[in-house]
Structures are given as structure tokens and as C-alpha cells.
């Protein structure tokens, strides 16, 4: 995922009224909510429809810059919330709005919401999960959307309650002036502040007198919504994007959201304020498309390693040996360190010093629980966050060093990994990591392939695949890193038979999580055929080898 330089971002030239529409809305409710339907030139009937929900003080027009980036790749529906844009519906509650939107959604949806619209997404997802079994939301993507907009009830990663109350009071007295000041706040903290301000003036309209009361009511919704419990309960995949300089929703909300639901991805977008899709539309579109089209199911990866957490250390002798090497490369002067993909916390324990602050991050909640228990047993502090290495919930320039032992191979988007790592490191900070190369598990991969050919079931994926280590180095350099040190090693584990080998892979969570895997149990005949094929690798010493190709890297942010 490449960074978009602020100087390259131009105001959108989209005129929403000129975009060809798909079929006209068929019902009164659809006519009220759906402002535009935009069909790509080559529509795929099986692809999800991207449905966009705007924030307070805006309308469907706010999405023009993103539409410019996405219109050729997906069908798009732009919604107007009640009393905004062209929607004159009178709706009394956020839950009623969510119910209305759930009714009009197509069968397969990617749901995108900004600010208030993003806070409505969990309510809409709940409606779909509970009342619409024939409909699916494949992904929810929230932009600058907090679990709770204002501080309170032990939630601090939000706007101060007094600030929000003052804003509401000012809007009640002078709506037009307050709305104008709101536009300035939305642009604040953005490196493209002038651009964002121009876009706000061009695409957001001030309230008319007949809208004042409804907009006041929508402000009360913004203050009343508390999605913390709901975000834990719904099963719809979520991606939460936050602007690093957002003056309305603090970037700290990313860490808070990651803690609320460990399966949700969070990402802090550098140099962005509240209106991310005005500031960096190309980058935001790229992030969203990468998430929706991801080949590897991150939820399955997280579940696999969570299930392995309690027994992981009993068989992770190679992983611990490699971690020892990794820890030796970490600079002694590094005081603030993030352990990315911390697993059961082995690296963090080795690196612990009285003067150090170590933050442990993992996609698997089960691993974090085990790591926390181990740290507390040794009377050490533990700061853990459940998040994805590709979407780090940390501010920029915050860490002296990043450590990642045998985790990078589970990532889908290496450019995003290194871009994020470069962002959160301080100048002259270092990233030290190990990862697996394509020769890893080659014996098992070839044995399965031979067995499938024998049984006439070619094309199945039984073994995780790993990318060329040269590509890792290229991605690191493209992100701006200098490679200070690198090493490649081959490690071979040995077993008496195939079954202990398979059990050990499952125990460390490294069994197959790739697309192409057949669902359900593997039959005895196939296991037997694979075991027979594996015999070709038995050594003169009478053991079965299993190869790991390992790359070690020390990178410098310059």
C-alpha cells in the first residue's frame, strides 16, 4: 500500500449529478434515503454493493472524492440521512434510522460510514444480523467514527463532554455560524487543511432554517450513541480508520476500538484530520479495497492462534530459539518498544528492563491473554493491544524500536506493514524482525500435492504459502527503510512420523489458513496418501525432516 503525498491530492472534479445512475429507487423508503446509485462500466452481479452513509452536517455529496477513486471498480449507493441532503424523512432515533437503512440494503453490501454515519454502522449491522437472514454485510468500514463521541462512563478516548455540550449549545443559539466553525474543526490537524476546507465549502451545505430542529436532534444522537457493547456482540467484519490529527475524534480512539473487539482492524492515517476522504481519497480507497479483497481471512488467523495459545510454548522451541537471536539485535538504548505479533510474550519478557516501556500487539486475543498471564506471574507490567500489524493503532513517531518474531508471514499487504512501521517509529528508530521464506514446509507441501494427484483432487491448498524473502527487502526499502543487517538461515526439525509433525503444526497455530483450503475434516485415505508421499523425504538417519527458511532483518528509519 503506497502513501499518497499531500501535494498530489487535488480537489475532486466529480459532479455527482452527472454520474450515470443504476435503476431508479423502487420504494418510497429507497427514494427518501438513496441519493445516488452509481454503476461501474463492467458490473459483476456477484460483487457487493458499496453503500455510503455520511456524517452530521453533510450529505451524500461528501463522498465525491471517494466516488472518483472507486466508481470504476464497484457499484455504489450514496445515502442521505433524514433531514440531510434530499432526505425529508422525520425519524426520531438512531435505531429507527438503522432499521430503515437495513430494509433498503441490497443482498450483499460493503457498508461505509463517516463520523455519525460510521457510528450508525454497528446499529445497521445488528439489524441485518437479527432481522434480515437473506442479507449480508461483508464488511463495515468506519471513517473517523468512535464507539462513543463524547467522553463519559469510563470512556476517555473521545471529545471532552464539556466541549461537545458547548458546541450543541452554540448550535442551538446560532446554527449557521456554529456549522461554519464546525467546518474549520474538521479541517484542523490535516496536512491538506486548505484542500479539505475548499472541499467542505464545495460539498457540504449549511443548514436551512427549516432544518435547524432536525439537525439539533441529530446532534443529540451523536452524543447518545454508545456502541461499546454492540461492537463486541456483532460478528460483521469491521475496519476503523482514524485521522492522526483529527480534532473531533482523537487518534487514541484507535487503541480503544482495538481493545473493544479484537477481531476488528484499526488504522491511524498519518497527516489526516477528521475528513479523511477529502484529504487522502486515493489512499483511503486503496486501504478499503485491500481490506475487502483480502485473500487471507484474518479472523481465521486470529482464531487459529488463539486456540493454540495455551499449549503454544510446549512445542515452540524453534520459535523461541529464533526469538533469542532477534532480541540480541535490539539496541540497548531503545526505551519504547512495540512487540508486533507478540504471541505468548516470549520476546517481551526477554526485552524487559526497568527503564523500558514495552507494548505487546497481537491479532489473537488468546495469545494476549497468555502473554499477560506470563508477565504478571513474573511481576512485570503488561501493556497489550489486540490489532493487526497492517493497521497499527499507534501515533506517528512514537517508538524507538519495533520487534516482530515470526509474524510477518501472516500479513496480507507487506507495503502496508512497512509503511505503518515506518510511520510509528521515531527518526533513527529500528525495526527488527524475522519471517519465513518460501522453502518453509516444502516437504509437507509436496507430499500433499502428490497425494492429491494420486486421488484426483488437484488444486487444493493444504499448506501455508510464504513469499520470497527478496520481496520482503524490496517492500522495506520502498517504505523508506535502510537495511542495516540481514541474515538467512535454514532450520530443519525432525520427526519419527507424519502425525506428530501435523499435531505440532496445529499446536503452534501454523496449520493451513490460506484460501483454497477445503472445508471440513480431511479423510483417512487422503492423510494416508500424504503420509506415504512424505516417506520420500525420510533421511538416512530414519527421520522425516520439516524445513523452515528464516530471514532476519534489522531496518533503520532515516
pLDDT tens digits for range 214-251: 999 999 999 999 999 999 998 888 999 999 999 999 99
pLDDT digits (tens, 9 = 90+) for 504-553: 988 886 654 554 444 443 568 889 999 999 999 999 999 999 999 999 99
- Residue 181 pLDDT greater than 90, yes or no: yes
The reply to whether 272 and 348 lie within a common domain is no
The reply to whether 400 and 503 lie within a common domain is yes
The reply to whether 274 and 185 lie within a common domain is yes
pLDDT digits (tens, 9 = 90+) for 425-455: 999 999 999 999 989 999 998 998 888 888 7
Known catalytic membership, residue 369: no
* Domain-embedded: residue 126: yes
* Domain-embedded: residue 95: yes
Structural domain count of the chain: 2
Q: Which of 276, 293, 310 is the last residue of a domain?
A: 293
The reply to whether 231 and 104 lie within a common domain is yes
Coil, strand or helix at 50 = strand
For residues 49-70, average pLDDT = 97
The reply to whether 247 and 385 lie within a common domain is no
Pairwise CA distance, residues 545 & 297, whole Å = 29
The reply to whether 16 and 38 lie within a common domain is yes
The reply to whether 272 and 356 lie within a common domain is no
The reply to whether 197 and 268 lie within a common domain is yes
* Domain-embedded: residue 46: yes
Which residues belong to the annotated binding site for substrate?
A: 56, 115-116, 182-186, 274
Q: Is 536 exposed, middle or buried (0-12, 13-18, 19+ CB in 10 A)?
A: exposed
* Domain-embedded: residue 138: yes
Host domain of residue 380: 300-557
Pairwise CA distance, residues 80 & 103, whole Å = 15
The reply to whether 283 and 408 lie within a common domain is no
Pairwise CA distance, residues 274 & 271, whole Å = 10
Pairwise CA distance, residues 481 & 301, whole Å = 28
CATH code: domain of residue 407: 3.40.50.150
Q: Which of 278, 293, 308 is the last residue of a domain?
A: 293
User: How far is CA 129 from each of CA 98, 135, 297, rounded to the nearest angstrom?
Assistant: 12, 8, 20
Report pLDDT for 535. 96
- Residue 3 pLDDT greater than 60, yes or no: no
* Domain-embedded: residue 1: no
- Residue 316 pLDDT greater than 90, yes or no: no
Looking at residue 351, the DSSP 8-state letter turns out to be: H
Report pLDDT for 525. 85
The reply to whether 262 and 309 lie within a common domain is no
- Residue 484 pLDDT greater than 80, yes or no: yes
pLDDT digits (tens, 9 = 90+) for 399-420: 999 999 999 888 878 888 999 9
Known catalytic membership, residue 496: no
Q: How many residues does the chain have?
A: 558
- Residue 472 pLDDT greater than 80, yes or no: yes
- Residue 266 pLDDT greater than 60, yes or no: yes
Q: Please name the helix (run of DSSP H) or strand (run of DSSP E) that holds residue 340, with its range, or none.
A: strand 336-340
Which residues belong to the annotated binding site?
A: 56, 115-116, 182-186, 274
Q: Which of 244, 268, 293 is the last residue of a domain?
A: 293
Q: 3-state secondary structure string, 462-492?
A: CCCCCCCHHHHHHHHHHCCEEEEEEEEEEEE
Indicate which residue of 246, 313, 339, 362 is catalytic. Answer: 246
Report pLDDT for 460. 66
Residues ≥6 apart with Cβ < 8 Å to 21: 36, 37, 38, 39
pLDDT digits (tens, 9 = 90+) for 284-308: 998 898 778 765 566 667 777 788 7
For residues 466-495, average pLDDT = 93
Residues ≥6 apart with Cβ < 8 Å to 213: none
Beta strands 136-143 and 265-269 are: unpaired
Pairwise CA distance, residues 158 & 226, whole Å = 11
Pairwise CA distance, residues 96 & 224, whole Å = 14
Q: Where is average pLDDT lowest: 172-176, 187-191, 225-229, 265-269?
A: 265-269
CATH code: domain of residue 110: 3.40.50.1820
Residues ≥6 apart with Cβ < 8 Å to 516: 459, 460, 461
Pairwise CA distance, residues 548 & 439, whole Å = 7
Q: What average pLDDT does the structure give for the chain?
A: 88
The reply to whether 257 and 227 lie within a common domain is yes
481 near 539, Cβ under 8 Å?
no
Indicate which residue of 12, 83, 115, 360 is catalytic. Answer: 115
The reply to whether 305 and 281 lie within a common domain is no
Coil, strand or helix at 148 = strand
Known catalytic membership, residue 115: yes
* Residues paired with residue 548 on neighbouring β-strands, in sequence order: 491
Indicate which residue of 274, 277, 422, 462 is catalytic. Answer: 274
Amino acid at each position: 500500500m503506497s502513501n499518497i503525498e499531500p501535494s498530489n491530492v487535488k480537489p475532486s472534479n466529480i459532479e455527482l449529478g452527472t454520474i450515470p445512475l443504476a435503476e431508479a429507487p423502487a420504494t418510497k423508503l429507497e427514494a427518501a434515503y438513496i441519493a445516488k446509485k452509481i454503476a461501474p462500466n463492467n458490473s459483476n452481479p456477484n460483487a457487493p454493493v458499496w453503500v455510503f452513509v455520511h456524517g452530521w452536517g453533510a450529505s451524500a455529496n461528501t463522498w465525491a472524492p471517494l466516488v472518483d477513486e472507486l466508481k470504476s471498480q464497484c457499484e455504489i449507493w450514496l445515502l442521505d440521512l433524514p433531514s440531510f441532503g434530499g432526505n425529508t424523512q422525520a425519524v426520531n432515533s438512531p435505531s429507527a434510522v438503522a432499521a430503515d437503512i437495513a430494509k433498503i440494503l441490497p443482498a450483499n453490501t460493503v457498508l461505509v460510514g463517516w463520523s455519525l454515519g460510521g457510528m450508525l454502522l454497528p446499529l445497521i449491522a445488528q439489524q441485518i444480523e437479527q432481522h434480515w437472514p437473506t442479507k449480508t454485510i461483508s464488511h463495515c468500514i468506519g471513517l473517523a467514527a468512535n464507539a462513543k463521541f463524547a467522553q463519559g462512563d469510563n470512556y476517555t478516548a473521545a471529545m471532552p463532554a464539556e466541549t461537545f455540550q458547548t458546541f450543541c449549545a452554540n448550535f442551538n443559539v446560532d446554527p449557521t455560524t456554529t456549522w461554519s466553525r464546525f467546518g474549520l474543526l474538521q479541517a484542523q490537524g490535516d496536512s491538506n487543511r486548505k484542500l479539505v476546507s475548499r472541499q467542505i465549502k464545495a460539498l457540504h451545505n449549511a443548514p436551512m432554517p427549516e432544518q435547524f430542529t432536525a439537525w439539533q436532534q441529530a446532534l443529540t444522537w451523536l452524543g447518545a450513541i454508545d456502541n461499546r457493547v454492540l461492537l463486541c456482540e456483532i460478528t460483521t467484519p469491521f475496519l476503523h480508520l482514524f485521522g492522526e490529527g483529527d480534532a473531533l475524534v482523537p487518534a487514541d480512539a484507535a487503541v480503544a476500538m482495538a481493545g473493544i473487539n479484537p477481531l476488528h482492524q484499526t488504522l491511524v492515517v498519518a497527516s489526516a484530520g477528521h475528513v479523511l476522504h477529502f484529504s487522502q481519497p486515493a489512499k483511503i480507497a486503496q486501504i478499503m479495497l485491500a481490506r475487502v479483497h483480502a485473500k487471507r481471512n484474518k479472523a481465521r488467523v486470529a482464531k487459529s492462534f488463539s486456540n493454540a495459545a495455551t499449549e503454544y510454548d510446549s512445542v515452540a522451541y524453534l520459535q523461541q530459539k529464533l526469538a533469542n537471536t532477534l532480541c540480541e539485535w535490539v539496541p540497548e538504548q531503545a526505551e519504547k518498544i512495540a512487540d508486533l505479533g507478540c504471541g505468548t510474550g516470549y520476546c517481551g519478557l526477554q526485552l524487559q528492563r526497568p527503564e523500558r516501556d514495552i507494548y505487546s500487539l497481537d491479532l489473537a486475543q488468546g495469545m494476549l491473554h497468555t502473554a499477560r498471564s506470563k508477565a504478571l506471574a513474573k511481576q512485570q507490567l503488561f501493556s497489550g493491544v489486540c490489532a493487526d500489524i497492517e493497521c497499527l493503532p499507534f501515533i506517528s513517531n512514537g517508538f524507538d524500536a519495533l520487534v516482530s518474531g515470526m509474524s510477518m508471514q501472516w500479513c496480507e499487504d507487506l507495503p502496508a506493514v512497512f509503511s505503518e512501521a515506518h510511520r510509528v517509529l521515531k527518526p533513527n528508530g529500528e525495526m527488527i524482525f524475522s519471517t519465513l521464506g518460501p522453502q518453509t514446509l516444502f516437504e509437507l507441501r509436496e507430499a500433499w500435492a502428490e497425494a492429491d494427484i494420486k486421488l484426483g483432487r488437484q488444486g487444493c491448498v493444504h499448506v501455508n504459502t510464504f513469499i520470497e524473502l527478496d520481496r520482503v527487502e524490496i517492500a522495506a526499502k520502498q517504505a523508506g527503510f535502510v537495511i542495516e543487517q540481514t541474515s538467512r538461515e535454514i532450520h530443519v526439525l525432525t520427526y519419527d512420523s507424519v502425525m506428530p509433525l501435523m499435531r505440532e503444526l496445529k499446536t503452534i497455530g501454523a496449520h493451513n489458513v490460506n484460501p483454497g483450503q477445503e472445508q471440513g475434516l480431511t479423510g483417512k485415505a487422503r492423510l494416508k496418501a500424504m503420509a506415504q508421499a512424505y516417506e520420500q523425504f525420510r533421511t538416512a538417519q530414519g527421520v522425516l525432516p520439516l524445513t523452515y527458511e528464516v530471514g532476519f532483518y534489522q531496518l533503520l528509519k532515516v
